[in-house]
A and B are shown apart, each in its own frame.
Chain A
Amino acid sequence: MNPKRLLSITRAGIMESLHFRLGIFVTLFANLIYLVLVYYLWKAIYDSSGTDVVNGMTFSDTMIYLILATALFNFLEMFVVWDMSRSIQSGKIVLDLLKPMRFRKYTFWSYTGNHVVQFVLTFIPTFIVVMIVTRGAIPLGLNLVWFLIATVLALIINYNIEMMVAPICLFTESTWGINIVKETIVLLLSGASIPLAFFPEKARMIVQYLPFRAVYDIPLSILLGKSGSDTWQGLVSLFGLQLIWLVVLTVCGNLFWNCAVKKVTVNGG
């Protein structure tokens, strides 16, 4: 562990993503359109339900949750699967493997640069806008610190999910299909597109314990003071769930990735 090395990689990652600054504005614009759609969709749902509170959430609760989920999604989104498949197909993987640092570590830290940029340029502005519009619907206190910790854990979990999917793409030679399946599963089961509170009782029981929730729902619940995160007990159990998945997925991610490397070093990709 040499912090200077990691910092240097992160720094290069920041510079590289700032280079694509136009992309960031496009993301913000696309979000705006998406959120307008979401607004009208959920307005229709609430209007037709005849009550103000559906599944324990008011309309503004739902909107705050979904807006922040979208912002969090932009912030955590990774393209490891795409990058890696392209790199393997073009043979660039050879150069990636010739770096004096483990590929997994190197990739993680260079993505960290991208996360920092996205956090500052998409998440923080969205958060501030939500704060202003709702005039303080989000509690400001220790929950912000817990949220940041939960986000870092979510980031690592998400990275390891990618690290598991990428080798599957390599072995099945189908990047697009597998990646779409992954995105859909993660978006649906993580609470990023529908708050988990809206899931049928039985489905929620299962989804609650799956790793996808640890990526979006847990950090958001902690930020908004939901899912019992306002008590120590609740907080510990949420972090506990994240930590368990973090360990399990890191181990699996390593295993899968080692198989992929083996394939490259034996068969030349």
Chain B
Amino acid sequence: MSDLSVNEAVVMRNVCKDFKVLNRHEGLKGSIRDLFSRDYNTVSAVKDVTLTVHKGEIIGYLGPNGAGKSTTIKMMTGVLEPTSGEILVNGKVPYKNRTENCENIGVVFGQRSQLWWSLPLIESFKLLRDLYMVPQKDYEAMIELYRSLVDIDPILHKPVRQMSLGQRTLSDILAAFLHNPPIVFLDEPTIGLDVSMKAKIRELILGLNKEKNTTVILTTHDMGDVDALCKRIVIIDKGTKIYDNDIEHLKNYFGSYRTLKLKLADDTWEEYLIDEKTTDVMDVIMEKQKEKKIKDVKILEISTEEVIKKIYEGSAK
């Protein structure tokens, strides 16, 4: 690889990941047969992905369920070895010397916690401080920074097991940033959270990214996260990268699309997605007016949500 790639946060080149899975058969007889079976299937979770993430960027890594996002994140963190291709994270191959490389990354998997279940949060923090050998001065400065970004005092002395999902996720994100790693991976950090907690967490991530210039690689199914955090998005589907560009560019690309909202007699809103290149918005309104009474009309730019939906649908064809 070129010398330049050492200065990037993440460089992936033609990365593939195959899983071998046993072909399981049905029923008791099938289970017994499986005991001796050598009948493996290969699942290609990631196919030939090439990607560069610059330092200090927040990138949204998107794709439908089963697209291969988590698999990619696991390869970047070093817990999975790619089947082929090259990966450099912080200029190093992540799965070689995994333990040492872990000192320079932070990871949150939204569905599970890396905190010590029965200990108060502050004890987990102290343990992480010692594990990552963070100098006391830096540790205290970080806690102060946290304090300025979110209200941590109510949860600091709470055992993790007694926390709500939102509080726990918040704690996990704080824990991932504690040793001030240059890169943080967040795999669905806002899964299952309410609106206000989502907002809090987005603010926190943005604040930490600004303060510490941390590179953040984020996967999510919530386009609110993308709108709030990411300038650039990468979309993969069925393991293949299908989009990689600025979010603005994406909206321009779908610039001719409009969301038409019609308020009906019973005060409910109906939504239509219209491509102005092929269909005239006014025509649609007139068409609909013939069918039912319309009280109000709104024409909006296409939302990120719908752009992504279109891309997913487009690639599904």
> Which residues in A have some Cβ–Cβ distance to B below 8 Å?
2, 4-5, 7-9, 11-12, 15-16, 19-20, 90-92, 94-95, 97-102, 264-268
Contact A94 B79, CB 8 Å, known A100-B102, A101-B131, A267-B19 = yes
Contact partner of A265 among B71, B79, B116, B118, CB < 8 A?
B79
A113: min CB distance to chain B, Å? 11
A82: min CB distance to chain B, Å? 15
Main secondary structure of the interface of A (DSSP, over half): helix
Q: A2 and B118: CB pair below 8 A? A: no
Is B20's beta carbon under 8 Å from chain A? yes
Residue of B nearest to A94 (CB): B79
Contact partner of A97 among B79, B103, B116, B118, CB < 8 A?
B79
Is B80's beta carbon under 8 Å from chain A? yes
Residue of A nearest to B176 (CB): A98
Is B98's beta carbon under 8 Å from chain A? yes
Q: A98 and B80: CB pair below 8 A? A: no
Contact partner of B109 among A15, A16, A95, A266, CB < 8 A?
A95
**Stretch from B7-15, B119-127, B243-251, B272-280 contacting the other chain:** B119-127
A35: min CB distance to chain B, Å? 30
Q: A100 and B100: CB pair below 8 A? A: yes
A38: min CB distance to chain B, Å? 33
A206: min CB distance to chain B, Å? 33
User: Which residues of A sit under 8 angstroms from B74, Cβ to Cβ?
Assistant: 94, 268
Q: A98 and B130: CB pair below 8 A? A: no
Q: A95 and B131: CB pair below 8 A? A: no
Q: A98 and B114: CB pair below 8 A? A: yes
B194: min CB distance to chain A, Å? 25
Q: A265 and B81: CB pair below 8 A? A: yes
Known: A8-B131, A15-B119. 4 other contacts (CB 8 A): A100-B100, A100-B131, A102-B99, A266-B81
* A2 CA / B129 CA spacing, docked (Å): 13
Residue of B nearest to A19 (CB): B118
User: Which residues of B sit under 8 angstroms from A4, Cβ to Cβ?
Assistant: 130
Contact A268 B118, CB 8 Å, known A4-B130, A5-B130, A9-B131 = no
> Which residues in B have some Cβ–Cβ distance to A below 8 Å?
19-20, 71, 74, 77-81, 95, 98-100, 102-103, 105, 107, 109, 112, 114, 116-119, 123, 126-127, 130-133
Q: A12 and B127: CB pair below 8 A? A: yes
Residue of A nearest to B179 (CB): A100
User: Which residues of A sit under 8 angstroms from B77, Cβ to Cβ?
Assistant: 98
11 example contacts (A-B, Cβ-Cβ < 8 A) are as follows A4-B130, A5-B131, A8-B127, A16-B119, A95-B107, A97-B78, A98-B77, A98-B98, A99-B99, A102-B99, A268-B74
Contact A91 B112, CB 8 Å, known A16-B118, A98-B102, A267-B20 = yes
* A100 CA / B107 CA spacing, docked (Å): 12
Contact A100 B132, CB 8 Å, known A95-B109, A265-B79 = yes
Q: B103 and A100: CB pair below 8 A? A: yes
User: Which residues of B sit under 8 angstroms from A5, Cβ to Cβ?
Assistant: 130-131, 133
Interface centre among A8, A98, A266 (most CB of B within 10 A): A98
User: Which residues of B sit under 8 angstroms from A266, Cβ to Cβ?
Assistant: 80-81
* A8 CA / B125 CA spacing, docked (Å): 11
Q: B102 and A99: CB pair below 8 A? A: yes
* A4 CA / B19 CA spacing, docked (Å): 40
Q: B109 and A12: CB pair below 8 A? A: no
Contact A264 B79, CB 8 Å, known A5-B133, A90-B112, A99-B131 = yes
* A265 CA / B114 CA spacing, docked (Å): 19
User: Which residues of B sit under 8 angstroms from A268, Cβ to Cβ?
Assistant: 19, 71, 74, 80
* A2 CA / B114 CA spacing, docked (Å): 22
User: Which residues of A sit under 8 angstroms from B130, Cβ to Cβ?
Assistant: 4-5, 7-9
* A266 CA / B80 CA spacing, docked (Å): 6
User: Which residues of A sit under 8 angstroms from B78, Cβ to Cβ?
Assistant: 97-98
Q: B112 and A98: CB pair below 8 A? A: no
User: Which residues of B sit under 8 angstroms from A90, Cβ to Cβ?
Assistant: 112
Residue of B nearest to A16 (CB): B118
User: Which residues of B sit under 8 angstroms from A94, Cβ to Cβ?
Assistant: 74, 79, 109
B129: min CB distance to chain A, Å? 8
